[in-house]
Amino acid sequence: MILTLNTYEAVEPEKVSRWFKAAPVEKFPKNGGACVKYKGMQIAVFNFTREGTWYACQNLCPHKMEMVLSRGMIGEDQGEPKVACPLHKNSFSLKTGKHLNGDLNRIATYPVKIEGDFVYIGFSE
């Protein structure tokens, strides 16, 4: 909990001060995720092809503090895009980071943009 609070903070689209060039688009599986390293952080990036959108959030699952969310299945709950943690299937909204099937802490989400064939993640620093 403390680790999350200190390390990962959600970034609002209008607060982005740096777009980090993460990796080429083809590195991310369709309708799935992969993990990006940025400074000391691990960011899970999801290519939600069915929606035609990209999402990013912390790779750390706040339940047991393991770096695994990028390996989770993505999907949707009543229209809310989500990722299910591969360890215990805790689901988090990819839009707001809210824990959808319990009351764990919110996870941090980050803006993503695609330019050229590259994926960029927005940070504010």
Partner 1 sequence: MKTVIVVGNGMVGYKFCEKFVAKVDQGSFKLIVFGEEPRVAYDRVHLSEYFENGDAERLSMAPREWYQENNIELYTNERVTDIHRNSKTITTLSEKTYNYDYLVLATGSSPFVPQINGVDKDGVFVYRTIEDLEEMLAYADKIRKTVKKPKAAILGGGLLGLEAAKAVMDMGMEPHVVEFAPKLMPRQLDTRSSKVLQVKLKSMGINIHLSKATNQILGNGHVIGMEFGEDDVLNVDMLVISAGIRPRDELGKSCGLKMGTRGGIAVDNKMRTSDSSIFAIGEIALYNQMIYGLVAPGYEMAGVAVDQILGMEQTVMAAEIDMSTKLKLIGVDVASFGTPFMPAEKGHSIIFENKTESLYKRINVSHDGKRLLGGILVGDAKDYNMLLQMYLNEMPLPKNPENLILGSRGGEDVSFGSAMDLPDTAIVCSCEAVTKGQICCSVKENGNESVKAISKATKATTGCGGCKPMVDDLVKETLKSLGKVVKESICEHFEYSRQELYDLVKLRKIEDYDSLLDEVGKGHGCEVCKPAVASIFASIYNETANRQATIQDTNDRYLANIQRNGTYSVVPRVAAGEITPKQLLAIGRIAQKYDLYTKITGGQRIDMFGAQLHELPPIWEELIAEGFETGQAYGKSLRTVKSCVGSTWCRYGMDESVTFAIDIENRYKGIRSPHKIKGGVSGCIRECAEARNKDFGFIAVEGGWNVYICGNGGANPQHAQLLAEKVDREIATKYVDRFLMYYIQTAPPLTRTAAWLDKLEGGIDYVKDVVINDCLGIAEQLDSEMQYLVDTYKCEWKEAVENPEIRARYTHFVNAEETDDNIEFVSLREQKMPKAWV
30-48 burial, b for 16+ CB within 10 Å, e for fewer?
eebbbebeeeebbbbbbbb
Q: How far apart are CA 83 and CA 81, in angstroms?
A: 7
Q: Minimum distance between the CB of residue 54 and partner 1, rounded to whole angstroms?
A: 13
Q: Are strands 53-58 and 109-110 parallel, antiparallel or unpaired?
A: antiparallel
The answer to whether 114 contacts partner 1 (rule: CB under 8 A) is: no
- Nearest residue (CB) to partner 1, 58 versus 111: 58
Binding status of residue 52 toward partner 1 by CB under 8 A: no
Question: Which residues sit at the interface with partner 1, rule CB under 8 A?
Answer: 1-2, 5-6, 22-23, 27-32, 34-37, 42, 45, 48, 50-51, 60, 64-68, 71-79, 81-82, 84, 86-87, 89, 91, 96-98, 103, 105-106
